[in-house]
Structures are given as structure tokens and as C-alpha cells.
Structure 1
């Protein structure tokens, strides 16, 4: 495909926007009522059409999670590549171990192109069309115009922010694709100044015009403040990050739920939630079934005398597991409840037969490298600790596929952003990090440094899709140290040695993802690939 076809594809993607409105039922979801008139004039010139266009952005945002590519890789890929994961098997395992997705021409880069590069550019382009149309639409009340633009600007900012954090060499634009510019060639990346100027402008507008409280599932003032704090951390503007995070904590209606058991309970509609992607069974527009939870849960149900059940994690296939480093962080404080069957399941129990109720201990991990257990492979498959954050009470325990709401942003991260931003600017970070620890029954810290922040983020936010970005934001030295020291389980999982060990596979230039060659071919001939991949 050439450059002209690329921009024609962007323009023709508008038809998907229009068509999607016909399938987005909003009787419950986001409380909007798209019209059956789905022509472009209706969408971009009327209040109801513009509101329907905004609803479609939520649908597009869910697409990455709903895509079935390689066992729903798009929902879990970023977690697989962190220093906290043992990426055991499947194509996601290959990606997580840095065996794939490390060259512009390999299949992993092509998967990432579809699931991230094209996905987020599609969102940014649709949002831009809506923003620019709303600015000039006549007979639209000002509060409706501002609400539409605020939500669309949030999604544009988040899309470009995600792309920047993954790929670094990205281009941003505020121009709607038209017949006049559809064949313009993009020859160079945008500067960091251009990227952050747009991110901050969009998020500032969103903060000003969004409400603190809205229909569950919609972005709010708190969502925008949270992301603006994250953007400020990437800029090294720690005072701005502190101000946004503290404002959200102290001025907004949000609060930490009382126990770690409550964080991922029910449909995630509670005071800590800042943005939750909905996938409820009774919502036509509420997403599809995914294997997100199954990727994180072991195959314990293959042991005789135990059936799959939601309490112990549901039905899984052991793709991405908490590694020894993360387990050690969780075990550092015996009172910490985050490894107490709330965020992670460490032990499994018989549910039938003569041993009902007893702990299962038939497989052993490697504890002595000179005399490894004979059953360690089955331990990793069937008895290894699991992340159970993505299991939901009404899931089908007998299916790998389930519809579960997905927590994207929550207030506990805001507290940890505040702690780090204060540490790097002015003030006392202890109250903010200790508020998170207090909820987990962990002993309060008496001092804080960057490593303490990194460790606490691991305990609280592991497998929520933030870790790899945090390591990159903290710098080359940090990500190199964490990946080469802790990723996978190293020699404690011998079959991962050599070509399968992420610690030895890691290269410093992996701090930026390769732009897939299929995408570079659609850009100008001088568009820059990220360093290390040429």
C-alpha cells in the first residue's frame, strides 16, 4: 500500500464511524441515543449527531481489548513485557520475552501495528473530525458543544499520549482529513514540544468542561486530571503533576475503597474508579468477550479434585504470571493484603473428592538450582500464583471467554503519582504513598525514594498496563536495570534460559517500540525509524 492509499484509508475510515453508530445501543450505555440517520451531515452538523460521534469513540477505544488477535494480545501485551511478569507461552509469551516485536519486519511488530499504532491513530483521527466539526456546527447549544469537544479532546490526547510512550517517533495533527489534504505526505515526526503542547491543550480543555460526576463509563474531570498528571510526569514537570494529582484527590468526589478486596469487586463502579471500560452482558454497545482474565490465570482446574471457579480465578491458560521479583515484593510485608486472594491468588484448594477444602501442594517450584524439582513445569502451568484482578463475579467459570469491565485508571495510581511528584518537587510524599499502603494493611513507610515508589507501584498496579511505561519514563538506567535483573524468572525456570530469557534478550533500544515497516512504507521516505531498528 502506498502513501496515497494510507490517507485514503484514514478518510474512508469515517464510514466505519458512521456504521458503528448503527450498532451502538445506548439505552443503558453512556445514556445517549444515536439516530438512525448516519450520514456525515447528520453526524457532524447536529447536536445529536455529534453526541453519537462521541459515543462511537468509546466503542473504538474498546476495540483493542475486544480484538481476538493471538488470544486477545492487545489487552495484555504491555503487561507481558514488564519486569514483573513471567511470560510463559503463546505468541504473547514470545512478545513478552523479547523474542518477537523486536524488528520492524517481524510478525510481532505487525500485530502491534494493528493493535496499537493504527488503533490509536484511528481514535485520534475520529476525535479530530468530531472536534473540528463541533467547533463550527450551528444550532448547537454551547454546553453540548463543550461536552462533545471535551470528551473528544480527551480521547485524542490519550491516543497520542499512548502512541508517544510506545513509539516515540510519532506525528500529531489537529487537521481533519479532507479531499484536499488526503494525499499529503508525512515526512517527519512531530517534535516533543508539538506533541506535549497538543496533549496539554486538549487535556486542559477537557478538565475545564467535563463534570466531576457523569454516567458510569464516561470520562470525567477526574479522568482528565489523572491523565494530565501522567503527561506532566513524562515532561518532568513535577509541580504540575503534583497540582493535578492533589487536586483530584482533595477536590474531587473520589476516594479509595476501604479494602483491596473491594477494588476489583463487582462491576468496578465505585469511588476509586476514574475510567472503566464497560463490557456488561446486557449492553449491545458494551464490548465483546475477551480472554483477558484467562491470560493471567493458571490451569489449576486441570488438577484432579478441583474445578474452575471464579473465587480461585476462573478458567485460565497460564500465559502471563507474576514472577519471583513481584512475589517477593508482595511477600515483603506479611500483613499486606494484596497477595491475600484480592489482587493475586497464591494458593489453590480442592473443591471435590476426599481432600475437599485442603490446599493443593502436588507440584513444586524450583528452590534449589543444583537440585531442581521434577514437577516445576506443572507448577508453572497449574499451581503458580495468578493475577485475579480481571475476574468478575458473574463470569462463566467454565469458559476462557468472558465479558468483564476493565479498570483503566483508578485513584490509587493518582496517590502514587502525587507521592512521586512531591518527592521530585516539594512537600512530603509519605502521606500519599502510605494511604495506599494503609488500605492494604501494610506497614507505613518512614522514608521514600524513587525505588520505594517503583516498588509500591508494582505491588498496587501490577498487570494493569502501566508498568512498562513507568520504567521507560523513569529513564534508560532504570528500565535497563529492572529488565536485565528481574524480567521473567531467569534460571529459576530453566527452560527459559538462552534464547527464551527476557533478561538476556533485552536491548537498551527496546525502550522504544519499532515502527512496523508496513507503517513506515505508508509515510514519507525520510520518516525516522526509532534508533536501533535501522
Structure 2
């Protein structure tokens, strides 16, 4: 909490054009007030807000994805309070991470907006104000989904503030809505280059309206607004047929709506702790250089559940675009066009449609082409999900976030090695947001059209009828490993049901009863961190139900 309520020290950083790197420049000996009133100084202050996104999304994944139906503990331990709701309390490890980093982002945005009224005018000033409003709204949206009502802080505080009131979730949503509508009037149109634009604000507004639409304080227009803003963000753009937008070096593709920018030049100070950790958690290969027959240690932290693996049908190109179901002796040979055709296979994870005849034919081909490694092992369907993973290479990796150019993490405690961008919003997600909004409006025809645009792109059989469970399944297939699943289940009221059914550790611990807190209150919200409550001089700041 001290980090939140004390005077914010804003790092001066420079965003190089629209490339994916941010370099830090220490200007601690310069009077900040004087610098920020110049056009160049204010620009660097805005860029500091973008840098904070790396801390929100680049490090800990737990509050975004743990404790759901799709991911569970594999070989490495997870924080059990968050991943299993076991003894979850306000003092549990990792509970406060998003709270702290979210309010850092809010304070930085408040600082930027304060100086936006004092700085020299420029041709980009209005756009930068819109960017700051978006970034502040985005931080509040993450917080209100995770913790419920939180303090609304709109002012720049040059001195420590020691007492806060807790606003209601309804008030926070209203503030987010106002901020984003205001940002829309300021932000530019045009292609995405790394900075927030009007399309990103449209996309976020659609998600905000959709999420509020499920709340007890929803407005009657929320689902209609969600559908409208999602369609405006889509703007008639079709998804690229058969295009795997997740291959390395494709982060800034035509379907990217908003992302967190990373680049090797910007993490040189500590390449083990300042990059993007997404790949390490979902497909971690740690320690040493890759050599044939001795690939690095596989962490296997957030591994797909059997339910997650079961969601893909034959012909759906997302199976191989999402998972590395064929692992080579040298893992990253997969991304080397010259080595891949002759690379030896050490592991194969059979999809659910693989028959005994398919296995025989596959292994005969490996032998005939000399690609069968001495250490080759075949994993039959049903034997390689999170609950079956007890050794290196026995669990199927989610490869969407692989970074062949990154150094290997030296340990599971320093996994932030990737310099690929972190994709926050992309076009297929927006199609699925639109589908869900139209479904809630009882417009099955339009909902199917939006959802089937995603399925058709992946050569999957079009859906003929929708339920909220089918929409959640489709979101799982399309967005596997992306940081939205806990929010999806919480929004739709499916968190307890689905986590209890499909998360093997939660199921073993009694299913839904794992979510029950003191007095029988469901722990649907994460707890307000205990240090936040302890350090707040306002002792009437309430905790969430169940804690």
C-alpha cells in the first residue's frame, strides 16, 4: 500500500517511434515539474504509463488465469491459495500484485493528466490525453473485476495520502465508462502502431459494457452497447483465413488491437526479470543452451487441463497453432525452416481423434525418414494433461508465446525472458465479445455469425446453436493461454461450476466447497490485500465477502 499512497516517482522513458522498445533514461537530477511542462518531457511522462503495462501483464499470471477450468498445476508448484482457493485469505501470496500494479498505473495516469493541462501545446496533446484516460480506465477495469469496488482516485497527489474510502463497483464502472467515452473523442483513428487509438477504446468499451451487463447494477442498454461498440471496433474487417497470427515476429499484425510493447533493447539491464513471462509460464524451457538430445529443463507451471485439451476437434487448425504436440530434440527447430524438415522427434502428444492406425502410420513415417529420436516417447490422448505431468516433457506445451530469440530463464523465479509483445486485445476476441453480447440480446442469428467467423477462419465446423457454455468453450479454443479466463468465468457466473468440474485439484478438494468462505459467502472476488487495509487510516474500509 505504501507504494500506492506515497508520492509517485515517475521514471522518464523514451518510446522509440512505434517500435516495440522502451529505453529508460535517468533524469533524477532534473526538476520533474519543469521537465513535464515541456512537450518532450510530457511525452516521456506519457511513455512511462505504457511502461507500467509491462508490470501489469508481463510478470505474474495468477490473478488472470489460475483457479479456472483451463489451467492447473503441472510439474511446478502454483500459489495454492489463488489456484485452488485453498486457505485463500487477504494475506495470501500474489493476492495483492494486481492491486499494487494497477494503482501504480492509475497514479502515473493521474500525474500525466495533471501535467497535460500545464505542458506546452503540441499537435499530439489531445491524443496523449486520450491515451492516459484509456490506460487509467484499463487499470480500473482490471481492478473492479478482480476486487470489486476500489477507491476512485482522479487527482495527482504530490504528497502522501494515507486515508481512502472504498467506492462501490457500480461507481467504478460508471467512472470507467465516462473515461473511455471521453477518450474516444480525443484518440486518433488509423492503424495500430503501439499506442492506444480509437479502435482500442471501442474494443475496451465493448468489454466493459458486456461485463457490467451481468452485474446486479447493470444498465438496460449494456448488452446493446457492448454489441455496438464491438461491431464498431471490428469495422467490417474479416479475420485472415488460415493465418497463424501467433508465430514469432507476427505480434504487430493486422488483427492486433492493443498490446504491451517489448524489445531486446529495452530489457538489457536485467533480461531475466524485465521481459515478458507469458511464454515461460505456459511453455517454459529453462537453463542452458539447447543441444540435440539434451533440451533444457521444462518448468510446466500452468499446464492445460484435460478439459482444455478435449475442446479441439479434428480439422480445427487451432490445435497445432496453440499446442506444440510434436516436440523435437531441439525444441526451437520447430521455428527454423531449414532444420524443421529433418529434426528428430522426441515426443508426440496424440490428439483425441488419433486411432491405433494413425499411431502406427505416424511412427512408421518417423522411422522411415530417420526422424525418430532415441528418446522418442508417444503420449496417448488422456495422458499428458496437467494432472498427469510429473516429469520433464510429459505435459503438452502451449506454444503460442514461444520466443526462439529469448535467452532461457535461469530459474522459475526469474521467467521474464521473452521480448515478444504481450497481446492484450485482438480482433478474434472482439468477434467473440460481439457474439456474447448478441447472444445476451437474444439475437441468435447475429451471435452465430460473429462466432462462426472465428470458427471458419480455423477450418472448424460452424456452430448451429449457442449457449453461454458453448461461447465459453469457443473463447477457450481461441484464447488459450491469454489472460482473460478468470474474468470470463467470473463475468458469466460460471467460475464455481467450471473450476469445480475441470480443475483436477479443486475437484479433488471437494469442488465448489473449495470456494466457500466464512459464513458460506462465495469467494467470487479476490480479497482486498491485508496490507492495503492495515495501512489505510480509514478503518471503515470493508473487506470482500467470504474473507
Of 18, 21, 42, which residue of structure 2 is paired with 1:50?
42
Query: What is the match of residue 10 of structure 1?
Result: 5
Query: What is the match of residue 69 of structure 1?
Result: none
Query: What is the match of residue 329 of structure 1?
Result: 311
Q: 1:95 to 1:339 in 2, by over 3 A?
A: farther
Deviations 1:263-322 (A, max 9, x none): 3441411111011212221346998334431221266999996454xxxxx863100111
Query: What is the match of residue 263 of structure 1?
Result: 246
Partners of 2:63 and 2:170 lie apart in 1 by 29
Offset at 1:137? 2.0
Q: Is the 8 A contact 2:264 2:419 kept in 1?
A: yes
Residue 411 (structure 1) aligned with residue 403 (structure 2): no
Q: 1:43 to 1:201 in 2, by over 3 A?
A: farther
Partners of 1:123 and 1:301 lie apart in 2 by 33
Q: Which deviates more from structure 2 when the two are superposed, residues 314-323 or residues 121-130?
A: 314-323
Partners of 2:276 and 2:205 lie apart in 1 by 29
Partners of 1:361 and 1:434 lie apart in 2 by 38
Q: 1:525 to 1:395 in 2, by over 3 A?
A: same
Aligned partner of residue 72 in structure 2, secondary structure: strand
Q: Is the 8 A contact 1:225 1:244 kept in 2?
A: yes
Aligned partner of residue 122 in structure 1, secondary structure: helix
Q: Is the 8 A contact 2:206 2:225 kept in 1?
A: yes
Offset at 1:417? 0.5
Of 71, 94, 104, which residue of structure 1 is paired with 2:80?
94
Q: 1:323 to 1:520 in 2, by over 3 A?
A: same
Query: What is the match of residue 232 of structure 2?
Result: 247
Of 522, 529, 545, which residue of structure 2 is paired with 1:516?
529
Q: Is the 8 A contact 1:484 1:506 kept in 2?
A: no
Query: What is the match of residue 346 of structure 1?
Result: 325
Query: What is the match of residue 401 of structure 2?
Result: 390
Q: Is the 8 A contact 2:431 2:454 kept in 1?
A: yes
Residue 104 (structure 1) aligned with residue 90 (structure 2): yes
Residue 82 (structure 1) aligned with residue 68 (structure 2): yes
Query: What is the match of residue 126 of structure 2?
Result: 146
Offset at 1:456? 0.3
Partners of 1:129 and 1:473 lie apart in 2 by 31
Query: What is the match of residue 494 of structure 1?
Result: none
Q: 1:119 to 1:398 in 2, by over 3 A?
A: closer
Partners of 2:83 and 2:282 lie apart in 1 by 16
Partners of 2:113 and 2:87 lie apart in 1 by 34
Residue 40 (structure 1) aligned with residue 22 (structure 2): no
Aligned partner of residue 326 in structure 2, secondary structure: coil
Query: What is the match of residue 122 of structure 1?
Result: 104
Query: What is the match of residue 170 of structure 1?
Result: 150
Offset at 1:380? 5.9
Offset at 1:32? 9.5
Q: 1:479 to 1:159 in 2, by over 3 A?
A: same
Deviations 1:31-63 (A, max 9, x none): 999896852323442322222111000111112
Matches within 5 A, 1:480-495: 480-488=496-504
Q: Which deviates more from structure 2 when the two are superposed, residues 346-355 or residues 384-393?
A: 346-355
Residue 434 (structure 1) aligned with residue 452 (structure 2): yes
Q: 1:419 to 1:405 in 2, by over 3 A?
A: same
Aligned partner of residue 258 in structure 1, secondary structure: coil
Q: Is the 8 A contact 1:154 1:203 kept in 2?
A: yes
Partners of 1:490 and 1:358 lie apart in 2 by 38
Of 468, 474, 489, which residue of structure 2 is paired with 1:450?
468
Deviations 1:83-140 (A, max 9, x none): 111222545352553256710123x1xx331x21111111111101211331x32641
Offset at 1:362? 3.3
Q: Is the 8 A contact 1:488 1:502 kept in 2?
A: no
Q: How many residues matched?
A: 483
Of 175, 182, 199, which residue of structure 2 is paired with 1:205?
182
Offset at 1:334? 0.7
Q: Is the 8 A contact 1:213 1:220 kept in 2?
A: yes
Q: Is the 8 A contact 1:99 1:505 kept in 2?
A: yes
Partners of 1:32 and 1:85 lie apart in 2 by 32
Q: Is the 8 A contact 1:117 1:163 kept in 2?
A: yes
Query: What is the match of residue 362 of structure 1?
Result: 377
Offset at 1:191? 2.3
Query: What is the match of residue 206 of structure 2?
Result: 229
Partners of 2:282 and 2:529 lie apart in 1 by 27
Q: 1:378 to 1:195 in 2, by over 3 A?
A: closer
Offset at 1:222? 1.4
Higher helix share: 1
Residue 278 (structure 1) aligned with residue 222 (structure 2): no
Q: Which deviates more from structure 2 when the two are superposed, residues 54-63 or residues 377-386?
A: 377-386
Deviations 1:473-504 (A, max 9, x none): 112xx22111111123778xxxxx45xx8766
Q: Which deviates more from structure 2 when the two are superposed, residues 354-363 or residues 509-518?
A: 354-363
Aligned partner of residue 53 in structure 1, secondary structure: helix
Q: Cα RMSD between the aligned structures?
A: 3.5
Offset at 1:396? 4.2
Offset at 1:448? 1.6
Aligned partner of residue 275 in structure 1, secondary structure: strand
- TM-score scaled to structure 1, two decimals? 0.80
